[in-house]
Structure 1
Amino acid sequence: MYLLDHPLVLFFVTCLALLLAHELGFCLRGLAKDRDSKEWEKQVHETRNQIALLLSLLLGFAMSMAVSRFDERKKLVVDEANAIGTVYLRATMQAEPIRSRAPALLSAYVDARIAIFDKNDEERERQDAVEDSRRIQDALWAGAVTAAQQSQTPIVAIYAQALNEMIDLDSERVAAVLNRIPADIWALLALLSVLTSVVVGYGQRHRSMLATFVPVLMVAIAVSLIADLDTPTSGFIRIDQQSLKSLSAQLHT
């Protein structure tokens, strides 16, 4: 969804929706017959606290999901950099033509992997980088297959194993990008946020800027932060590609 991929837009939309919900609750209070009764106010406040508690628990649960997925994506960057470095080192132990061709291919491969997840690249550039990445994988694997057919030595075997792990990490990173917080949780968050704002407005005797805007801002900030952590290719919080960039600098030199 567009909103979940653009946390700043989600923040303003959430603020607007919750303010409207709060205003709706305040207007509904005027229709209540027992609004001046202390027992009525006690029931409204208890209902508000119960919904707010459930909302806070769900926000904490969603935050833990987003953080765990963010940490997993960070770990995969380091794992992929280590896997590519291992392939490079083992390629230098191989016979020709792998020993001369593989380093250049791996250098280009690292640059392609950085471009896929770089926040400065456009979508078309990312797609071109994905195609380059797959093409280089095919070229490296074809070289390993040829070497294995010519000479089935342990050195060739460990090179093929390292290359296979590198290719597997490509699939793992793609799966990590697609592993987002389920839409059902977002729908429940939206429902509870709106209900909380309605009940808060319903329980107010008079309009209050502090009581109106502070809860709205707190929920909007929390929801936007969760969406930002859960958005791997856009937003403000991005996965650091420093491990791959450092490896790229080493391979180019």
Structure 2
Amino acid sequence: MDGTTAVAIYGEMRLPVFSLGTTVLLLALTLPAAAVTGFLFGQRQRARTLAKGKIIDKVLGETTLGAILGLLGLLLAFSFGHALSLAQTRKVAVIDEAAALGTVFLRADYAGEGARTDLKTAIYDYTLTRVVPDVARVESEADVRAFLETSLAAQAKLWPATLAATDGVEPPVATFIASAMNDAIDAHLYRMQTFAVPVSDVTQLMLLATALASLFLLGNRAGMQGRVLSWRTFMFSGFLFVVMVTIVDVQRSSAGFVQTDQSPLLVTIFDMEQALRL
């Protein structure tokens, strides 16, 4: 399969619908707005109830509110744990790929004299494509596909270069080099898999819906009981905002404050450059 057409296989790789900045703004607006909306609905419902001569139930909605808050805590814990696990998995994938590329580059020294430089140059060129650009250069799915196409095109040259470099060498040496090259190519698959996590989108939607529902019910209960919407509700909204933004930030590997460390790849590239200059 051609390297430029293989990109279509990675159908689960997609950018988030909203940028991190847009997500932060939406959360900052919708979370307190849910509490205010619930409070206004509660006031209106209280007025209607009193107009009918009925008594306001003082424990109205406590069971529902407690259940929603319990569910919210569970989803927050699950989402935060999943985000940390995903970030660690991506970090390990980068380290493993850098190690695999460094290993095959060193083993290329055992290749035939004529094709050795070509093989090491092909490995170096491929390694350059494994560094994910910063978020400013990957703003759309087209940018992601272009980046991936460049990487796959460079990868497609590795195996032919390996065959040429091991032509005529002893079989054990050829196996020694080819196995390292196979590991380097396989590292691409493991790393790409860390970008295909559709469960993150589902859990984030569930978390957002539960957070909005809990704040709505908090505001609604205050309005029904004739109390003012206190600062405690907005403080709770603020804590939710911080935790949810942190979860979103950790889940995005190339944007925000918590990004996947690519220094292992950069160090590997530096070592390759030094070796090629010798």
Using structure 1 for the length normalisation, give the TM-score: 0.87
Deviations 1:37-72 (A, max 9, x none): 5xx233433432321121011111011111111100
Alignment of 1:72-221 (within 5 A): 72-114=89-131, 116-119=132-135, 121-122=137-138, 127-147=145-165, 150-151=168-169, 153-204=171-222, 205-221=226-242
In 2, the alpha carbon distance for the partners of 1:3 and 1:215 equals: 26
Give the whole-Å Cα distance in 1 for the aligned partners of 2:228 and 2:25.
21
Q: CA deviation at 1:150?
A: 4.3
Shift of 1:100: 1.5
Shift of 1:152: 5.8
Of residues 88-97 and 130-139 in structure 1, the stretch that sits farther from structure 2 once superposed is 130-139
Which residue type is aligned with residue 179 of structure 2?
Answer: Q
Kept in 1, the 8 Å contact 2:32–2:237? The answer is yes
Taking the aligned partners of 2:190 and 2:238, their CA distance within structure 1 comes to 36
For residues 157 and 15 of structure 2, the distance between their equivalents in structure 1, rounded to whole angstroms, comes to 37
Partner of 1:10: 23
**Residues 115, 164 of structure 2: 8 Å contact kept:** no
Moved over 6 A (4+): none
Q: Distance in 2 between matches of 1:179 and 1:246?
A: 28
What SS does structure 1 have at the residue aligned with 2:40?
Answer: helix
RMSD: 2.6
The alpha carbon displacement at 1:147 in A equals 4.7
- SS at 2:270 equivalent: helix
How far apart in 2 are the matches of 1:197 and 1:163? Answer: 54
Partner of 1:26: 39
Question: How far did residue 101 of structure 1 move?
Answer: 1.3
Distance 2:18 2:94 in 1: 21
CA spacing shift, 1:103–1:180, aligned 2, 3 Å: same
How far, CA to CA, are the matches of 1:83 and 1:252 in structure 2?
16
Question: Which residues of 2 match residues 49-68 of structure 1 at below 5 A?
Answer: 49-68=66-85
TM-score by length of 2: 0.79
1:96 is paired with a residue whose SS is coil
Cα distance in 2 for partners of 1:2, 1:200 equals 34
What residue in structure 1 maps to residue 7 of structure 2?
none
Give the equivalent residue in structure 1 for 2:272: 251
| SS state at 2:255 partner | coil
Q: Tell me the matched-pair count.
A: 250
**Are the counterparts in 2 of residues 48 and 196 from structure 1 also a CA contact under 8 Å?**
yes
Identity, in percent, stands at 23
The code of the aligned residue for 1:249 comes to F
Deviation of 1:201 after TM superposition, in Å, equals: 0.4
C-alpha separation in 2, matches of 1:122 and 1:9:
16
Distance between the aligned counterparts of 2:77 and 2:187, measured in 1? 30
Task: Please give the alpha-carbon distance, in whole angstroms, between the structure 2 residues aligned to 1:11 and 1:86.
Answer: 41
